[in-house]
Chains A and B, each alone.
Chain A
Amino acid sequence: MKNIFARLFALFGACSLVTNAFAEEVASKATQLEGSFKLIPGIILIVILVTFVMVGILNRAKDTSSYWAAGRKISPVGSGMAIASNWMSAASFLGMAAIMYGAGYHGLSYVVGWTGGYVLLLVLMASQVRRYGKYTAADFIGDRFYSKGLRGVGAVLALLISLSYCVGQFAGIGLMFKWILGIDYSTAVIVGSSVVLLYTLISGMMGVTKNMQIQYVIIIISFIIPMVMLCYKFGYNFWFPQVGYGEAVTDIVNGLPAKEGVVNSIGNSIGILPSPEFAMPFDPATGKDSFQWIAICFSLMIGTAGLPHVIQRFYVVPRARDARLSVVWGLFFICVLYWSAPLYSAFGKILSANPEIGKLNKDAIVVYAAQLANLYPPIVGLLAAGAVSAAFSTVSGLLVAGASAFSHDLYYKTLNPKASEKTQMIMARVGTILMAIIVASIALLKLALIAQLVAAAFSLAGCTIFPLFLLGIWWSGSNRAGAWAGVIVGGGISLLSIAYFIAAKQGIALPAAEFMNTYLNPWYFAWIGAPLAIIANIVVSKITGCDTPIEIKKFLATQVHGVKLEDSKQEKAELV
């Protein structure tokens, strides 16, 4: 920890020197919304990225064990910070405020879904997964369902989920690089992707985990400082801005009258006409109803408990108790940001009420809010750099998880069990590069808002991985045939939903498109996909006699669930 704070101190020292020297002369440039190079934010970003790479080099992975699971040397608080940093992606930093800015109370389904899932994860999985003792999600699936094929499917699913999740992050990185560098979105995505790829290749999970702790602190500081300043500037409670912005929400609902001379950075009066649709539940003006709220919230929750790169974090703690504690710490650290995110949407709403501002890119509303409020340019820059850190921390974890699935589960465990450590490391790096290229290519298509792209990954995880873990841990009767049935149903529903989405994007009208868009929407298809996959797994397992091998049942009972058997001592010894 001391090391982390020493590095942070050095980092912020460097930032403040640079910012003080240049702040005045570039102040006018930094208040432009788009299209120009912003020096201060650029310098802050470069300093932060160089720090990340340095920490990555200093804590570089030396073998496959370090690369995949950080050598199981992380404390619960450290792991909690890493979980939070890994979790607090561009979707949390930028995407949530974007959804709330556009759809009001509907956006809170993302806030609740992305936090509430941790309760499920803790009570149903964290310590059980740790006691099961496998490295990756595919390892667990392959072992629990005694199937090489399912291990391969698990690896492919982990890859697809990581890919889908990464697309949103790369879009966020592209957006912030575009804002800072004043370049077009496509170039920004390519530049940002190259930097994050380089960093992940150099550091691996060990560097990633260390960096994640630093990234967490940077993300939180960069998110909270502008928040305090916004509340201070507009006369809300700035000592506790997470509470202070409540009055801003009420002001939006009832309207905030303008005062002559009180203007935003482009000269519009600060104020808003009554806009209850921002806060009222399931408001028709937002085009979102209660079904969508509940479906998104539920899908995100079960997706959280099924995300391979999140489950994988429990392997890096030394003991099952630490796995539980790390969830508690992780959730607390996550909530610090999630309590704050709606504030930016509220201020963004007030500050961009005038049509002169035009249609802002919703995904950048966090930064625009600070900019429109005329905050000190280095503070706006820090916010943008925080957004990049948030995306980096998640992308690096996802790329490592994807590389693990590619190298460890697909290549080593399925295709070439005789592969040397060196070959595995090379394959891990090849996997990382391939993933980055694919993700960057998809991110260039600008398919949807960041939070929505990420939500699709959650639904995919909720439909496929979650049922396997849930039944694999809690019902020994779930067998290989049942697991296959569940994967086919969950995967089939995911494919169907995504196929309709792609068809709609291509302008192809498929039958019942409106029905599918409402009930099998790509952002929340897990609300129905997951229950159906669970039912399929149960029914087929029952039909095929629940014939899970006795060794697995014994292991589950004694090692994972602590069932005491009369003759367990001898049997436990045999199992170990």
Chain B
Amino acid sequence: MTDSNDKRYEINFFKPAPGIARDNSKVITIFIAIWLLAVFGFQFLLIGTTELTPEDSLVSFNEVWPKVEENTATVAEQQEFSKSLLMALGKNIALAEADKNVLKEALSITAAKLVPGQSKNPEAVAEALNLKRDGFDLLMIELLPFSLVEPTSTTYSRELPAVMEKYCSHPRGPLTDFTFLGFPFHYWYTAQFLLILFVALCMLYTIKIEKLYVKNNFVEEND
């Protein structure tokens, strides 16, 4: 007879019995360590190697914003300013409704200065901004009908710089700027490599564990 404290029957992952249980625990520990490191280690690496980097449109915005705010911007600076706002508005679904309205309002105030009386006329504004019917300019022209509103004020919202900062600066670093198979590397690693790794880990584990069973003469009871 055996009692309930019989140590021979204890199963503890961290204190495995000699033989197959110990070998199994070692293999599992190694596989889980690889798995954890590959998934979460990489994300921590990303956190550590990226920093907020402004888009070109934010750089342009920051250059002209003080003058636009003080109402001393030249026409060229106002055009530059408006294009930077359109670049942000082009993010469309990424924008929160309130932030979108701040951007639209700012664009419309500037449009009213550039083409007085025609600030809601997309064609007139496109011409005033010197937009061509090609490339990014064409996309901006198509944005105008949905971006021009009746301004509720003649002064710009104080939130505008923060809104631009929020949408036009991004965490970037060597792992995001290096491209692999056409992808930004970090994106490929997470979207594709990790999945390949998971399948490989599962396959290797199946092979390894069966070798262990053979080595330890373990016959699975349901076989």
Q: Which residues of A contact B (CB under 8 A)?
A: 101-102, 104-105, 108, 111-112, 115-116, 118-120, 122-124, 127, 130-131, 133, 237, 242-244, 246-247, 249-250, 253, 255, 257-260, 268-269, 271-287, 290, 293-294, 297-298, 318-321, 324-325, 327-328, 331-332, 335, 338-339, 342, 349, 352-356, 359, 474-477, 547-550, 553-554, 556-557, 559-565
Contacts and interface: CB of A to CB of B under 8 A. Distances in A.
A290 B93 contact: no
B12 interface: yes
Contact of B92 (A118, A124, A328, A354): A354
B98 interface: no
B91 A561 contact: no
Given A123-B32, A356-B146, A563-B19, A273 B139 contact: yes
Main secondary structure of the interface of A (DSSP, over half): helix
B8 A557 contact: yes
Nearest to A287: B96
A474 B139 contact: no
A553 to B, nearest CB: 4
Contact of B31 (A119, A249, A286, A355): A119
Interface stretch (B67-75, B153-161, B180-188): B180-188
Interface residues of B, number: 88
Interface string B184-207: 101110111011101101110110
B222 A130 contact: yes
29 contacts: A116-B194, A131-B220, A249-B187, A250-B183, A258-B136, A259-B138, A273-B86, A274-B56, A274-B57, A275-B90, A276-B172, A282-B50, A282-B171, A283-B170, A290-B47, A298-B40, A320-B220, A335-B196, A335-B199, A353-B90, A474-B12, A477-B10, A553-B6, A553-B11, A561-B20, A562-B20, A562-B220, A563-B8, A564-B216
Main secondary structure of the interface of B (DSSP, over half): helix
A105 B187 contact: yes
Given A273-B136, A284-B52, 14 more contacts: A112-B194, A119-B202, A124-B28, A130-B222, A247-B182, A249-B182, A257-B136, A260-B138, A269-B139, A273-B87, A281-B43, A550-B9, A557-B9, A565-B8
B117 interface: no
A243 B196 CA distance: 13
Contact of A561 (B6, B11, B52, B179): B11
Which of B28, B92, B167, B187 is the most central at the interface, judged by chain A CB atoms within 10 Å of its CB? B187
Interface in B5-52: 6, 8-13, 17, 19-21, 24, 27-28, 31-32, 35, 39-40, 43, 46-47, 50, 52
Contacts of B167: 277, 285
A269 B170 contact: no
A213 B190 CA distance: 28
B222 A557 contact: no
A48 B122 CA distance: 48
Across the A-B interface, give the 9 residue pairs with the lowest CB-CB distance, nearest first: A273-B90, A246-B182, A246-B183, A257-B135, A247-B182, A553-B9, A355-B146, A476-B11, A562-B218
B6 A550 contact: yes
Interface of B: 2-4, 6, 8-13, 17, 19-21, 24, 27-28, 31-32, 35, 39-40, 43, 46-47, 50, 52, 55-57, 86-87, 90-94, 96, 133-136, 138-140, 142-143, 145-147, 166-167, 169-172, 176, 179-184, 186-188, 190-192, 194-196, 198-199, 201-203, 205-206, 209-210, 213, 216, 218, 220-223
B47 A282 contact: yes
A331 B190 contact: no
A101 B93 CA distance: 9
A457 to B, nearest CB: 21
Which of B32, B140, B172, B192 is the most central at the interface, judged by chain A CB atoms within 10 Å of its CB? B192
A257 B31 contact: no
Which of B19, B20, B171 is the most central at the interface, judged by chain A CB atoms within 10 Å of its CB? B171
A105 B6 CA distance: 52
B170 A255 contact: no
Contacts of A118: 198, 202
A287 B96 CA distance: 10
Given A108-B190, A257-B135, A131 B221 contact: yes
Contacts of A332: 199
Contacts of A325: 206
A277 B91 contact: yes
Which of B90, B134, B166, B222 is the most central at the interface, judged by chain A CB atoms within 10 Å of its CB? B222
Contacts of B198: 115-116, 118-119, 331, 335
A274 B145 CA distance: 20
B11 A269 contact: no
Nearest to A571: B2
